[in-house]
Amino acid sequence: MSASQDQPLLYEKPAEGIARLTLNRPDVLNAMNMAVRDELWSALLAVRDDPEVRVVLFRGAGERAFSAGADISEFGTAPSYAEARRARQDRDVWGLMLSVMKPMVAAIHGYAYGAGCELSLLCDIRIASEDAMFALPEVTLGYIPSAGGTQTLPRSIAPGIAREMVLSGEPIDARRALAIGLVSRVVPLERLEGEAMDIAAKLASLPADAVRAAKEAIVRGAGLPLDQALRWEAMIAARLRAGETAL
Ligand code: COA
């Protein structure tokens, strides 16, 4: 990719209805620093509020990574623990991402480690190229995944396999990611871009309110007992029939 590295996150609209967000720090494998998180915050507000945007597509710039996770060089640099906590609460990027009821697609190549993997877990559809590698290595550094990974991974794949990944920090390759359902497709690297755009375009062509309502039903029902989840489904279906817009 030839885009300027001055912008840590690129926001483009490559086709009708699609917002494409590119993590753009290829020299450090698209590690997510404060600047990336700030930009993500603004971009997510923009996609949430822009009626032109029907689908969000995430990818990483450069040859080697979707993202190698949180920027390790910033660890321990917050002025105080309280300040770090306040910053996280003021700008809960991952919570915001989860609240956007528009479909999100992650096109993953190379490393998807730590928050890179977790960001993809907050997307609805993950596709990967054959070179992709996934890991939540936080415990090996003395932390735990805290962009949702301890919760989203066990909700996305078999809980026992999720536990192994979270507790060991061991990476898995694309073939294994496909086998355990962490990604829904693996394609050759040269086809990743096109395939992801095709999926995004397909979703963007469908009735937007129905797609958003379907996502909302999935998100609201996740983790609830079936009877409560079904009540959400019925409520959201009724609201859609009544022509009321989803959140
Ligand atoms: N934060 C900041 N910088 C990072 C980074 C991260 N999470 N991951 C990689 N980088 C930087 C490296 O410091 C290196 O910078 P340099 O060229 O200035 O030295 C550059 O990206 C390339 O990484 P490098 O480690 O040389 O590549 P590699 O092929 O040997 O290894 C990884 C790739 C992903 C295995 C390795 O970079 C890694 O383990 N990164 C950290 C992953 C991680 O723990 N993420 C979760 C954080 S909680």
* pLDDT tens digits for range 206-240: 999 999 999 999 999 998 999 999 999 999 999 99
Report the DSSP beta bridge partners of residue 135.
113
Order of strands, edge to edge, in the sheet holding 111-113? 65-67, 111-113, 133-135, 172-173
Phi, psi of 171 (to 5 degrees): -75, 155
More confident residue, 49 or 1: 49
Distance 43 CA to ligand 1 centre (A): 25
Quickly state the pLDDT bin for 128 (edges 50, 70, 90): very high
Residue labelled with tokens 């620093």: 33
> Out of 4-8, 83-87, 96-100, 210-214, which region has the weakest mean confidence (pLDDT)?
83-87
Q: What is the identity of the amino acid at 195?
A: E
Order of strands, edge to edge, in the sheet holding 125-129? 9-15, 18-23, 55-60, 104-108, 125-129, 185-187
Per-residue three-class SS string for 112-155: EECHHHHHHHCCCEEEEECCCEEECHHHHHCCCCCCCHHHHHHH
Per-residue pLDDT tens digits for 136-184:
999 999 999 999 999 999 999 999 999 999 999 999 999 999 999 999 9
**Is residue 1's pLDDT more than 50?**
no
Quickly state the pLDDT bin for 191 (edges 50, 70, 90): very high
Quickly state the pLDDT bin for 35 (edges 50, 70, 90): very high
Tell me which residue of 178, 223, 202, 16 sits closest to 105, measured CA to CA.
Answer: 202
Quickly state the pLDDT bin for 76 (edges 50, 70, 90): confident
Residues within 6 Å of ligand 1 by CB: 28-29, 31, 68-73, 111, 113-114, 137-138, 141, 143
Residue whose CB lies within 8 A of the most ligand 1 atoms, among 72, 73, 94, 140, for a mutation test: 72
Q: Give the whole-angstrom CA distance, residue 190 versus residue 130.
A: 10
**Is residue 247's pLDDT more than 70?**
no
Distance 78 CA to ligand 1 centre (A): 20
Over residues 192-211, the mean pLDDT reads 98
Let me know: does 66 contact 109? Beta carbons within 8 Å.
Answer: yes
Quickly state the pLDDT bin for 245 (edges 50, 70, 90): low
Catalytic positions, written as ranges = 118, 138
Atom number of ligand 1 nearest to Cα 115: 46
pLDDT for the residue numbered 244: 78
Per-residue pLDDT tens digits for 17-28:
999 999 999 999
Q: Give the whole-angstrom CA distance, residue 199 versus residue 202.
A: 5
Phi, psi of 142 (to 5 degrees): 90, 15
Distance 117 CA to ligand 1 centre (A): 14
**Is residue 2's pLDDT more than 50?**
no
Closest residue by Cα to atom 2, ligand 1, is 71
Burial 6-45 (b: 16+ CB within 10 A, else e): eebbbbeeeeebbbbbbbbbbeebbbbbeebbebbbebbe
N-terminal to C-terminal alpha carbon distance within the chain = 34
Distance 54 CA to ligand 1 centre (A): 33
pLDDT for the residue numbered 4: 60
Residue 68's CB is within 10 A of a number of other CB atoms, namely 27
